[in-house]
Structure 1
Amino acid sequence: MEIAVWDTYVQRNDGAVMHFDILVSDTLTDEERIFEFGRTYLKTKSFETGSLTSKECRFCHIAVASEEMIAQIVTKGYYILEMKNCN
Structure 2
Amino acid sequence: MRVNVGTVRAFPGVLPDKAQAVKVVEEAAEVFSAWEQWSGVRDEGIRDMLVGELADCVTACANLAAALGVYDLARAVKEAEVRNEERGRYEE
State if a TM-score over 0.5 links the two structures. Answer: no
**TM-score, normalisation: structure 1:** 0.27
The answer to which structure has the higher helix fraction is 2
**TM-score, normalisation: structure 2:** 0.26
The answer to which structure has the higher strand fraction is 1
User: Over alpha carbons, which structure has the higher Rg?
Assistant: 2
